[in-house]
């Protein structure tokens, strides 16, 4: 299983945990949001909270898909396609959050 190191807390971010990727590398969801919240202060605080809820939902969806058991070849193919779609969506939300400026 893939294992990454979170660039904020330096702990492992393993498959099954909520984490995402920025241009800096892998980062835990909680570390990412907390760090951004500190950086922004009151600026864009509400928008950050809203995007954080959206990203949380997307990462939860990803983790749920990881637990889906498929045995047929077609099932595996479709599951992989679905996983990639949500992964892409989560990546876009991460980008939006990362781009929030003070």
CA 28-83-5 angle, 5° bins: 25
**Of the candidates 20, 26, 28, 55, which one interacts with Zn ion according to CB under 5 A?**
28
Question: Of all helices (H) and strands (E), which one includes residue 101?
Answer: none
The answer to whether residue 59 forms part of the interface with Zn ion (CB under 5 A) is: no
Q: What residues are paired with 17 via a beta bridge?
A: 15
The answer to whether residue 93 forms part of the interface with Zn ion (CB under 5 A) is: no
The answer to whether residue 9 forms part of the interface with Zn ion (CB under 5 A) is: yes
CA 93 to chain centre: 8
**Of the candidates 26, 29, 31, 90, which one interacts with Zn ion according to CB under 5 A?**
31
Q: Which residues are near Zn ion by CB under 5 A? A: 6, 8-9, 28, 31
């Amino acid at each position: 299983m893939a294992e990454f190191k979170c660039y904020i807390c330096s702990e492992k971010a393993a498959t099954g945990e909520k984490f995402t990727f920025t241009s800096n590398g892998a980062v835990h969801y909680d570390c990412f949001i907390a760090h951004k919240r500190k950086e922004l202060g009151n600026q864009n605080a509400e928008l950050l909270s809203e995007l954080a809820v959206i990203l949380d939902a997307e990462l939860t969806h990803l983790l749920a898909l990881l637990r889906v058991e498929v045995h047929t070849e077609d099932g595996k193919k479709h599951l992989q396609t679905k996983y990639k779609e949500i992964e892409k969506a989560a990546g876009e939300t991460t980008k939006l959050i990362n781009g929030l400026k003070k």
